Amino acid sequence: MVKRVLVTGGAGFVGSHVVDELLAIDVEVVVLDRIAPDVHPTRPDIPDGVELVERDVMDADAWRAALRGVDAVCHQAARVGLGVDFADVTDYVSDNDVGTAVGLSVLHDLGFAGRFVLASSMVVYGEGRYRCRDHGVVRPGVRSVASLENGDYEPPCPVCGSALTWEPVPEDAPVDPRNVYAATKLHQEHLCAAFEREHDVSVVSLRYHNVYGPRMPRDTPYAGVASIFRSALERGERPRVFEDGGQCRDFVHVADVARANVAALTIPEVSGPFNVCSGEPHTVLDMAEALCEAFGADAPIVVGGYRLGDVRHVVASPQRASDALGFDASISFDVGMREFATATLR
């Protein structure tokens, strides 16, 4: 059993819930977080008993200070979301790739031999898993701007051009990051895998699907779609749904994600990537409608359009996490969305 865990980004959305779960099982927690004003408009509360190192993950000395006495690391710190445009590329690579590399370098210097859990993402898959009636499992290419402009949102079979059906994505599916954020998350996985091969450690990469819940950041272009919709409702606006709203996703509650992290930190002899998901797929329009109903607001508006870098369908298989980590999501879509409609955002 781990006794003292470093949670990078432990003042943030997912990280703060991981901290709560660890404290609940009497694990000592150190938080490494720069508490940047652009991420935290108001200063977050740090629970009593948690040691806070308020510095940047790109600072090697910050890692050294935070790692004293630690026997496991839960690396949540990252710049998330699709971003505004490609001009964000340097910030993403710095925060995600360089920050991770600095931490792994310090762990190497210290001879760290504990568990390392990485917050990864389903975005590493790009488009999800698709099947053609005639050609079996296929990998559609990037949706063309012309198709998106024409309202042709479904990716066709790359062989014959016919319609496809989506299937749950297993962890051994090919990876195909489609935007800068996705590329950095995959590179983080690769850096951690290289570290694992050269050291006596086990690395677990948790590929989060669409996480939502209390403490989500509000009113930011880097937030997830759930936060964007919820922020619109707070402003008295109807959520605006891109494409036709038929994009399928797996929305997983942050409390379940925190439990998955604790399992990954504590289950002996486990490594590799795991989908962290509910196993309950819904469309983006489903989510917008559920939030509007729970909030007591008018129905969302389907506006068409698109965001470059978005994919059409990506829904996960929860089986590997269930078998190896004993993790199964416990909060249903309906219950979670009713709670989220009035939950506190940051």
Active site residues: 181
CA distance 2 to 25: 10
Strands of the chain, DSSP E: 4-8, 28-32, 51-53, 72-75, 115-121, 129-132, 136-138, 164-167, 202-208, 210-212, 240-242, 248-253, 272-276, 281-283, 301-304
Other C-beta atoms lying within 10 Å of the C-beta of residue 38:
9
Closest CA to 190 of 101, 67, 128, 275: 101
Residue with tokens 């779609």: 225
136-138, strands of its sheet edge to edge: 136-138, 129-132, 164-167
CA distance 62 to 103: 9
Task: Look at the chain and count its residues.
Answer: 346
